[in-house]
Amino acid sequence: MTVLRRLYFILVALFLAAPLIVVAGVSVNQKQELTFPPKGFSLAWYGQIFNDPEWRLALIHSVTLAICSAAIAVAIALPLAWFLWRRIAPWANIFQVLGLAPFILPPVITALGFLSFWATVGLFGQFYTAIISHAIFFVTLPLVTLSLGFASIDRSLVEAASTMGADDRAVLKTVVLPLILPYLVSGFAFAFVLSLNEYIVAYMTIGFTTETLPIKIFNALRYGYTPTMAAVSIFFVTVAALVFGAIAYFGDIRRLLGAMSSDTE
Amino acid sequence: MRREPPRSLADYAPLFFPALMLIVFFVVPFSIMIAVSFFKRNPAGFYTPDFVFDNYARFLTTFFGSVLGFSLLLAILVAVCCVVIAFPFTYLLTKRSRAVQTVWLVGLLSVLSLSEVIIGFAWSTLFSRTAGITNLFVAIGLMKEPVALLPSFWAVLTGMVYQALPYTILVLYPALVRLDPTLLEAARTLGASPVRAFFNVVTPALRNTIVATLIMVFVFALGSYLLPQILGRPSNWTLSVLITDQAIYQSNMPFAAAMAVFLVLISLALVGLTLLAGRKENAL
């Protein structure tokens, strides 16, 4: 039984890791060719991400896009989640639904919505349109983590603070914000990582004028192969693993993903 | 501080910015897309305003019918594969220590956040002739010489299961980790083996969760837009690919918008069903 269970875990792990192992192998090929196991060993392709002007530009675009859009997403989600927690206003839940919808619907639809919007208002192709589009597309993530954060606040703490004479602003600054900071950071991190990897919305808003890393990979895929693509892919997985690892290390990732906080062993 | 209804305009202040952003950049684009679906195609630009049903009438062609049928079938197949693999796996995962769970969750999130471009590229490498899995089979003597496993339907299916599996596990995780442990204890005390307890107690108890997960993964798989292009033949293209193709390469925005509206309706109907299934679960 234990053997079977272990085998099952290994098989799932292997399935999830296999393509990444091959890509990692391909990324250290000495020559510009697609072979596995790799012939020779070279980390030059990783250097290319930062040295080659085109890849570097795509990297800068992607990071700028991810940081700005994640920040705006948090700026939208924080007051909304706070309002929903602080006030009794059932109709305001419509905005929560609006915040969750872009993420649940097939991404092509959201992307097409943005394409028709920016084309109609005549701003199609501007870099900031992608920032706003990503912020709306990923607002779901900080909204979910922040709602969880607010729900976890013990209301008696807040009550105590206001009994002692703290007004709304003071309560927010000294009690609420410190308590939800971890949720705010993880909401930002989730949005950041997903924005970094996002293709279709970025492509339909700025794909004709600007290349982000996923767009650059896709274009490179069509026009011929370079191991730099493999290096970028591994770079992305590493960034994601580091970010989520940090969230797990500093916070409780099990709780963020839906486990109750009380089920300690 | 108790929750209070907002009284003055100032109490509504925190809502202004989020409401403005969501309305201007989500509700308005969505409405424009719906409007565009009734517009006429303009080969020179994006579209010309009009009110015609031509774009919807194109749904009645056999080509569209076959693409729609294929998309739905593929998404169902992906959902079933994912839930069959993920349900026992997630159940076993929740029985492991917190540390093991945390490591798995970090790994699953990392794979889930991967760009569809990267997943497509990774699997096309794994299925290629020069760097692919068949080289391994040759090395251990299972095959004579390496072959390319793509483009093919199976490559598309594998890629999409890979993309949706972490999602499935993470959707199932809350329900399974919160499952009342006394349920299982009772079954075990009454003499059921762990396997029997899993199939006869855990699975029926979470019947509605399983149905809801199937639907969510189905909607998720419907949204896959690149994998059928990278790993499959044109006959393996799904509705999402067709929408992208029409919008960008054929520059037929109205038809793309009409298909998108149709896809939204299917997705919304299914999400509604999911919520209904979830409500029943809570009522039990």
The dihedrals phi and psi of B116, each to the nearest 5 degrees, come to -60, -30
Token duo for residue B96: 């492991």
Within a domain: B242: yes
Integer Cα distance of A139 and A142 in angstroms: 6
Per-residue pLDDT, B1 = 55
The most confident of the ranges A15-29, A40-54, A71-85, B34-48 is A71-85
Integer Cα distance of B173 and A133 in angstroms: 30
Contact A105 B109 (CB under 8 A): no
Within a domain: B250: yes
Per-residue pLDDT, B146 = 79
> How big, in percent rounded to 5, are the helix, strand and coil portions of chain B?
75, 0, 25
Longest C-alpha distance within chain B, in Å? 78
Q: How many domains does chain B have?
A: 1
Mean of pLDDT values over A52-63? 91
Integer Cα distance of B100 and A254 in angstroms: 11
What's the mean pLDDT when you consider all of chain A?
Answer: 86
Q: ipTM surpassing 0.90, yes or no? A: no
Per-residue pLDDT, B284 = 46
What are the counts of helices (DSSP H) followed by strands (DSSP E) for chain A? 14, 0
Cβ neighbourhood burial of B145 (10 Å; 0-12, 13-18, 19+): exposed
The terminus-to-terminus CA distance of chain B in angstroms comes to 34
Within a domain: B133: no
Q: What are the tens digits of pLDDT across the range A101-159?
A: 888 888 888 899 998 899 888 888 889 999 999 999 999 999 988 988 888 888 888 88
Within a domain: B51: no
Q: Which residues of B touch A104 (CB under 8 A)?
A: 219, 267, 271
Comparing CA positions, the residue from B106, B82, B165 lying closest to residue A237 is B106
pLDDT classification of B237: cutoffs 50, 70, 90: confident
State the nearest Cα–Cα gap between A96 and chain B, in angstroms. Answer: 10
Per-residue pLDDT, A260 = 61
State the nearest Cα–Cα gap between B127 and chain A, in angstroms. Answer: 9
Range of the domain at B278: 62-117+150-283
Q: Is A245 on the interface with B (CB under 8 A)?
A: yes
Token duo for residue B177: 């980790």
Q: Is B250 on the interface with A (CB under 8 A)?
A: no
CATH code at position B236: 1.10.3720.10
B201 has a pLDDT exceeding 90? no
Chain A residue with minimal CA distance to B224? A106
Between strands B40-41 and B47-48, the pairing is antiparallel
Of A22, A107, A204, the CB nearest to B223: A107
Per-residue pLDDT, A105 = 83
pLDDT classification of B236: cutoffs 50, 70, 90: confident
Within a domain: B214: yes
Within a domain: B2: no
Within a domain: B234: yes
Per-residue pLDDT, B43 = 66
Partner B, chain A 10-39, Cβ-Cβ below 8 Å? 12-13, 15-16, 18-20, 22-23, 25-26, 33-36
Total residues found in chain B within this entry: 284
Residue type present at position B91? Y
Q: What are the tens digits of pLDDT across the range A151-160?
A: 888 888 888 8
Q: Is B105 on the interface with A (CB under 8 A)?
A: yes
Percent of chain B with pLDDT over 70: 95
State the nearest Cα–Cα gap between A182 and chain B, in angstroms. Answer: 17
State the nearest Cα–Cα gap between B43 and chain A, in angstroms. Answer: 15
Per-residue pLDDT, B13 = 84
Within a domain: B204: yes
